[in-house]
Structure 1
Amino acid sequence: MLRSASLKIIRALNIKGGCNIQYALNPNSFEYVVIEVNPRVSRSSALASKATGYPIARVAAKIAIGLNLDEIKNSVTQNTYACFEPSIDYVVTKVPRWPFDKFSNADRSLGTQMKATGEVMAIGRTFEESLLKAIDSLDIKMNYQLGLSLFDNKTVEELVDFIKTPSDERIFAICKALQKGVSSDEISNITKIDIFFVKKLEKIVRMAEEIKNAGIAWLDYDLYSRAKKTGFGDSYIANLINVPLDTVLELRSKYPIRPVYKIVDTCAGEFEAVTPYYYSTYEETDDVIVSDKRKVIVIGSGPIRIGQGIEFDYCSVRSVKTLRELGIESIIINNNPETVSTDFDTSDKLYFEPLTKECVLDIIEKENPLGVIVQFGGQTSINLAGTLAKEGVNILGTSVESIDIAEDRDRFLNLLEELGIPLPEGDTAFSFEEAKEIAQRIGYPVLVRPSYVLGGRAMEVVYNDETLKEYMQLAVGLSTKHPILIDKYVEGKEVEVDGICDGEDVLIPGIMEHIERAGVHSGDSISIYPPQTLDEDTKNTVVDYTVRLAKALKIVGLFNIQFVIDRHNKVYVIEVNPRASRTIPVMSKVTGIPMVDVATKFIMGYKMRDLGYTPGLYKESEFVAVKAPVFSFAKLTTVDTFLGPEMKSTGEVMGISKDYHIALYKALVASGLKIPSGGSVLLSVADRDKTECIEIAQALSDLGFNLVASEAHTPISPVSA
């Protein structure tokens, strides 16, 4: 019915290429209406391509140059043609990734305004399996208990009221309501979610209850096997029966239960597919052909979210291409359908799987690679490094020991002291009492944050004891295994360096200077390359510290170091990230140094002298590049727009020119900012910043803008500069 309607619309509009049509369907009849027609590829085109193995954009491009569907060969089968419609024998589930873990005060209700920053996709033989794998892929704390613990203290009446409004947490509330005895029919009537899907959630909840009631002592072969076929990850099972993950993983030696890997094709196995694109399930036959070539696994970064965006996909893709050039079989593990890394022809093999210890170890056991590269997948893959190393996996590039030194506050502090490199004064705390003592000793304001986080997660500048107490109460839950870091907030300017090290020599493509003052997250700061206001002594100090730190940490591959320079030009190190950063694509494009390609070769044993580069700071480009953040405040209207240590931007753009001012203007316009040439400017400034605001107000006045400001408890009135 909908297929026939779609064909009529496409023919009537004479569309040639991609097309997206959205319908509204009455679940109680065959009535439907067309919502909109997009005569182009869309977000769902990428999803549909990855879900079916049918390369929509590739086919659309060939149509655009005059080919017809029956003339375009299907690159998946290399036997059938593009007019052969996809037919699949598996279930695909897409789940959005929302930013509410970053914006806890934002309106979580879902409606016609899109709020997700990314998405994940999972493939399974049943809806239950693919749904649970997708939730595993989200990289959120709730995945281990299907969010059930979040609603433990809710009554049935409160749960019923909660699920009336669509939100990112509603699926978890529905599971809790089912657990507490609310019928699937009642939930379907309240939410208008098709009863089919509610029944599937009910099946998952019943399985979870059976596992929980059995406990580890009675988790026999039959129950464990049924749980795995339903899609239960070992982490979820361990959480249900309250045992460590390793205890559940030991069942693998007790029971012969292992995943098999099925190939993704476009024809449900009717024709042989040649693309090595796989998903796991629990059946008998395995489609993977394991070669005897030298091979390396690159772990991707999962869904796009604030603090971890498309820059890590760029790094993963560049890395696997370099591995292929070196004659090494490249294998990608990722679950984001929006990325190039999950194209079936980017790597030699693609596994579309959650980035969990269980799934990654299963693939490593299957492929037996030389090792695994984790530094291109952001914090998600870095967090897996220690876990994998403990299981005997070879982590290629920077060692797990070096990663831990950079991430562990005390070990990092000791290293800086040994090297004679200054760090803002600070300490670690596990309680408010400890935090208060540290803050009072070093003096407010202080910068507080949990360790082992990304994107400035839960990082704040705190000005007094009361605010510190509130912070400790709210944020400690984010990192129960790791302490809270408390540093003296240094007022000044931030700069950052992306470097490449072969374990001995260090190459620094360039230094980036931030326009915003220290304390604004680097992802939200406008950054400039080459720096415009740093003197030679400061740049030399930054280079010196960078080289000494990279060598001391024995970094092999990419790294990023952030510095703060106080008003007396003293340089402090804020942090070292022994991995790729969000500025790698910017620096690679503006300097011409293929940073990921070089880093991958270093990881595989090449030295800087082999590649013809000279250690130290690379010559500055004649171009000026300005990186500007892009925010989603128009979509997340209740989010505080004030910028601070916690990252809020959802993307970025770059402006480039030989003139700094033109590059800055191009970047700001590209970010969506409308720059007026005249009018009025409202100045609303915190007391602590009013002195610094005078110079800005004067400059605006000189440009002919009218200035308005607000006094405490008084209406806005014109003021003079």
Structure 2
Amino acid sequence: HALRALAEQGFAGIAIDANSAGVTTDPGTPSIHFIEPQTAEAVLDAIDREKPDGAIVQFAGRTMLSLARAISSAGVPILGTSIEAIERVKNPARFADLVSKLGVPRAPSSFAVSADEALAAAERVGYPLLARAARRAGGQAAEIIYDAADFEAFVESGIEISSDRPLLVDRFIEGAIEVGVDVISDGETTLVCGVMEFIEQAGVHSGDSACSLPPYSLPDEIVEQIKDQACRIADEIGIKGLMSAQFAVRSPRVGAGSRIPTGHEVFLLEVNPRASRTVPFVSKATGIDWAGAATRVMLGRSLQDQGLTATPRPDLKSGGGSGGHVSVRETVFPFARFPNVDVVLGPEMKSTGEVMGIDENFGAAYIKAQLAAGQNLPDSGTAFVSVAGADKAEAVEIGRKLVELGFEVVATKNTANALREAGVKAGIVHKIGEGRPDAIDLIKNGRIDLIINTPSGKKPRMHEVTIRSAAVARGIPIVTTIAGARATLFGMEAIRTHRAEVRALHEYT
């Protein structure tokens, strides 16, 4: 999209990417492709050869942002957001000052440039915390840590901590919903491209979580608060082009039948002065080429001149509804190709692709996305439920909904007892090694149609991994978080009353 926009303005684009599929363009788009890694040596070599008039670093992740200074030093102007603005965001101390100046709530956070500083930072922030290495893509070297002993082991695991690669330490907000926002600005006008509610709870890498645009459960006032904060941050930074931000929404009092009832708290998690991986999804969901619009901004055209003066229609009302539509992005994983690999999600990204479902309501859109991702959900049969102790109370809601949908529920002893005590009919299945038939026997014999299995802790027990791996090997749909299970059942219920139709994308947007 950026290359096409450059061509429209009379420029030939130069793309540098180690993945040839990542720079595939229409034959009619004049462009030059370098199939090279995004290293300083490769980028500077391409600059020396092609002598470009400018460089766009917003569409290549955090790697190219880190090379902006080197590119500028080679005599090539950085188009769009300035280097000074980029460095203000990427420097932990300066960014903390920026957030404090705006009065945007943020979870307790700190950073360290040495192992000794890291231990002190963790004590200041408190547990549980999310520790992650700065400037590492895909959530690499990231971990949720619950006590000092585990944090010390993490620091001593060989992770690099230095002034060039500080360790970021943030308080982990348990049970929070993560929200992603894509923003575009030309320096005068700032617009929200889209607000996405991630299905999986905060702590799962956003690249691995399904998400809904517009949000399907957040109150409109919370969405408006998030949009306002994102725009104020973009204006303060001086964004010219695209920016992404992540927020966490937590409620201290969760009532029956509502995911976020009262007393909401919104916390800023992260800001990136670049395009996020959700921009292609947001463009399809809203019918607007945001990458192209941002490219034209970097070349000097205002948003108003491009006819972009307001937030696009699908984001006007949370959850879609009359006259609108809901789009759901779902991720695709390679687990079926790797036997015995655990499918549980966490801070480190594991997905290798993504698909999209779109319909008039969240449930139908979610089911379409699941089907596209290869998750062929059953409409009846036997559901096996086995959850961690902390999830027992919420498992009751899941079990009751499964029964309402006509499923027979079977569970391991402790989960089954929790369900029965709440009046939910559930059969008992032996744990592996404690009797037969166990869950693996039922899976092998084709007697399980759906599995809901949340990990018991940071280091899952071997029998849990065995169950999850066996399910993947046999193509049995498996959900590993309560949030994911809730969304799945919501979709399965919705599809029974709303017939999903196949329609062209442009009919929605």
Residue number in structure 2 paired with 1:579: 274
**Is the 2:314–2:326 Cα contact (8 Å) retained in structure 1?**
no
| Cα distance in structure 2, aligned partners of 1:333 and 1:452 | 19
Residue number in structure 2 paired with 1:525: 209
| Cα distance in structure 2, aligned partners of 1:329 and 1:562 | 34
Residue number in structure 2 paired with 1:234: none
**Is the 1:505–1:615 Cα contact (8 Å) retained in structure 2?**
no
Q: How does 1:92-491 map to 2 (within 5 A)?
A: 318-341=1-24, 346-474=29-157, 476-477=159-160, 481-491=164-174
Residue number in structure 1 paired with 2:303: 608
Given the alignment of the two structures, is residue 598 of structure 1 paired with residue 332 of structure 2, yes or no? no
> What is the letter of the counterpart of residue 382 of structure 1?
L
> What is the letter of the counterpart of residue 16 of structure 2?
I
Residue number in structure 1 paired with 2:495: none
Residue number in structure 1 paired with 2:467: none
| Cα distance in structure 2, aligned partners of 1:354 and 1:536 | 43
Q: How does 1:497-516 map to 2 (within 5 A)?
A: 497-516=181-200
> What is the letter of the counterpart of residue 655 of structure 1?
G
| Cα distance in structure 2, aligned partners of 1:556 and 1:716 | 63
Task: Report the 3-state secondary structure (helix = DSSP H, G, I; strand = E; otherwise coil) of the residue aligned with 1:521.
Answer: coil
TM-score of the aligned structures, taking structure 1 as reference length:
0.53
| Per-residue Cα deviation, 1:619-644 (whole angstroms, up to 9, x for no partner) | 53711111111111111224321111
Query: Shift of residue 459 of structure 1?
Result: 1.4
Given the alignment of the two structures, is residue 709 of structure 1 paired with residue 412 of structure 2, yes or no? yes
**Is the 1:507–1:617 Cα contact (8 Å) retained in structure 2?**
no
| Cα distance in structure 2, aligned partners of 1:687 and 1:408 | 39
Query: Shift of residue 371 of structure 1?
Result: 0.8
Tell me whether 503-512 or 423-432 shows the greater mean CA deviation.
Answer: 423-432
| Cα distance in structure 1, aligned partners of 2:179 and 2:72 | 33
Query: Shift of residue 617 of structure 1?
Result: 6.3
Residue number in structure 1 paired with 2:228: 544
**Is the 1:680–1:707 Cα contact (8 Å) retained in structure 2?**
yes
| Cα distance in structure 2, aligned partners of 1:423 and 1:683 | 36
Residue number in structure 1 paired with 2:396: 694
Residue number in structure 2 paired with 1:663: 365
Given the alignment of the two structures, is residue 554 of structure 1 paired with residue 257 of structure 2, yes or no? no
TM-score of the aligned structures, taking structure 2 as reference length:
0.74
| Cα distance in structure 1, aligned partners of 2:238 and 2:212 | 28
Q: How does 1:615-630 map to 2 (within 5 A)?
A: 615=310, 620=315, 622-630=324-332
| Per-residue Cα deviation, 1:570-601 (whole angstroms, up to 9, x for no partner) | 11111111112111111111111110111011
Query: Shift of residue 380 of structure 1?
Result: 3.0
Residue number in structure 1 paired with 2:380: 678
**Is the 1:342–1:350 Cα contact (8 Å) retained in structure 2?**
no
Change (3 A) 1:377 1:682: same
| Per-residue Cα deviation, 1:408-459 (whole angstroms, up to 9, x for no partner) | 2222111100110011101112455443433344332111101112211121
**Alignment RMSD, CA only?**
2.5
**Is the 1:608–1:614 Cα contact (8 Å) retained in structure 2?**
yes
Change (3 A) 1:699 1:437: farther
Higher relative contact order (CA 8 A, sep 6+): 2
Change (3 A) 1:537 1:360: same
Q: 2:178 aligns with which of 486, 491, 494?
A: 494
| Cα distance in structure 1, aligned partners of 2:178 and 2:36 | 38
Q: 1:641 aligns with which of 343, 350, 365?
A: 343
| Cα distance in structure 2, aligned partners of 1:349 and 1:441 | 49
Task: Report the 3-state secondary structure (helix = DSSP H, G, I; strand = E; otherwise coil) of the residue aligned with 2:216.
Answer: coil
Query: Shift of residue 558 of structure 1?
Result: 1.2
Which has the higher Rg, Structure 1 or Structure 2? 1
| Cα distance in structure 1, aligned partners of 2:101 and 2:129 | 24
Residue number in structure 1 paired with 2:264: 569
| Per-residue Cα deviation, 1:131-185 (whole angstroms, up to 9, x for no partner) | xxxxxxxxxxxxxxxxxxxxxxxxxxxxxxxxxxxxxxxxxxxxxxxxxxxxxxx
| Cα distance in structure 2, aligned partners of 1:710 and 1:382 | 51
| Per-residue Cα deviation, 1:275-326 (whole angstroms, up to 9, x for no partner) | xxxxxxxxxxxxxxxxxxxxxxxxxxxxxxxxxxxxxxxxxxx111111111
Query: Shift of residue 667 of structure 1?
Result: 0.5
Structure 1 gaps, min length 5: 1-317
Query: Shift of residue 657 of structure 1?
Result: 0.9
> What is the letter of the counterpart of residue 708 of structure 1?
A
| Cα distance in structure 2, aligned partners of 1:691 and 1:671 | 29
| Cα distance in structure 2, aligned partners of 1:443 and 1:649 | 30
Percentage of matched positions with identical amino acids: 40
Query: Shift of residue 672 of structure 1?
Result: 0.6
| Cα distance in structure 2, aligned partners of 1:634 and 1:523 | 19
| Cα distance in structure 2, aligned partners of 1:691 and 1:475 | 38
Residue number in structure 1 paired with 2:468: none
| Paired residue total | 403
| Cα distance in structure 1, aligned partners of 2:314 and 2:37 | 41
